[in-house]
Structure 1
Amino acid sequence: MVDVTAEHPTATRLAICGRTDERGTVDGAWWPSAYDLKATLPDLISVMGRWLGPVSRVLYDPSLFPSAPSRIIRGTTVISVDRYSLVASDTIYLTGTHTRNALLYVVPPQTDADHACDLLKRVESTTIPMTVRMLRALVGGHPAAREHLG
């Protein structure tokens, strides 16, 4: 696991970009601190709720996240967290209550902080739709990421 607080005290772990209806495009990239959704998902839900409206459901691929809670309770809201074999296992899908949803590419947690931050900046500043394939290629330049993604 990468300790971002020491190297990058204000490191961003989420970047949003524009998505089109083109197959394989994503709404952004998320760099969780670990593959533990119980620990990392509440913060993502909180941030994404500002964009999607309150998040009502999260779909994750169990091949990437081995364990997760079945639901997250935020105040009086219950958010379903469901296993689902997604087309791209290195993504996570969030459904908001305002008929919006988001598909995020998951940057491997063990990715070097400088590399991950550069990738997220690139996602945020792009003027073209980003695809899972493009993001895998960008992450693939780093040995730790290549190991995880095989």
Structure 2
Amino acid sequence: MNPTLPHPEPVAAPAARLALKANGASRGLLDGAWWPRSRDLLSELPALTDALHPLWGRITRIAVNPEYWPVIPRKISANGHVVKVGWFTPEIDPHKLLLLSYGTGRWDLLIIPPETGAESAARLMAAASDHDGPPLTASALITADTRHNGTATATATDEPLEPDEAWESEGGAAAAPTAVPHQPSPPDRSGPDSRPIVGM
């Protein structure tokens, strides 16, 4: 006789760690930040689209740069529909995620590397979801935070560096510090016209 084993309760996937700009904020180069728990897009993207669905509507397409993702699925299932996933090089910053919502718009999120510490991730999320900023590309924002001691300056555009700028950014000359301001936790965005920071 085989004893009947209890059925395990389904385990809910953890919520996406996400910070978004408030409604009406100037768009800038980023609309917020996403801090995935792993580099497995097949398991990470459904939680992200679930979190964005009530805020931005139905996400229909997602695009990434493949540099930091070992596998990029062609599609995922989210909110009862299929989301197409693609990759582009060099059109998309390696630290950025592009999302398209049918008939609604496009959003660009900073991707905070999964291995980032909580304090650094909080600073990056706050900077990427700041009302007026950031004036930096996704990769420049990551670089600025990594070098927050002021030893280097991150470029603020997607344009390639001029030879002199490249030399200076690699330590060829002293540069004015450009760093993400230290903020131990993301700012409170709980007002009536704001979007939440979730999953922290």
TM score, norm. by length of structure 1:
0.73
Counterpart of 1:135 in structure 2 is 141
1:71 aligns with 2:75: yes
Question: For this pair of structures, how many residues does the alignment match?
Answer: 129
Among 103, 106, 112, the residue aligned to 1:98: 103
1:38 aligns with 2:42: yes
Residue identity opposite 1:139 in structure 2: D
Amino acid at match of 1:28: G
State whether structure 2 residue 117 is matched by structure 1 residue 112. yes
Larger % of strand: which? 1
Distance in 2 of aligned mates of 1:80 and 1:31: 21
Deviations along 1:101-147, whole A, 9 cap, x unmatched?
111111111111122123323433x23122325522443147xxxxx
Distance across 2 between alignment mates of 1:87 and 1:81: 13
Report if aligned partners of 1:19, 1:26 keep a CA contact under 8 Å in 2. no
1:29 and 1:68 map into 2 onto residues whose CA distance is 20
Q: Indicate if the aligned counterparts of 1:60 and 1:83 stay in contact, CA closer than 8 A.
A: yes
Which residue of the partner structure matches residue 49 of structure 1? 53
Larger radius of gyration: 2
Deviations 1:12-62 (A, max 9, x none): 721112453x5xx11111111111101111111111222221000000111
Q: 1 or 2 for the larger relative contact order (CA 8 Å, sep ≥6)?
A: 1
Q: Is the 8 A contact 2:30 2:128 kept in 1?
A: no
The structure 2 residue matched to 1:61, chosen from 59, 65, 68, is 65
SS of corresponding position for 2:68: coil
Could you tell which deviates more after superposition, 127-136 or 55-64? Answer: 127-136
Is the 8 Å Cα contact of residues 37 and 65 (structure 1) preserved in structure 2?
A: yes
SS in 2 for 1:63: helix
Higher helix share: 1
Contact persistence 2:42–2:73 (CA under 8 A): yes
2:171 is aligned to none
Contact 1:14 1:28 in 2 (8 A): yes
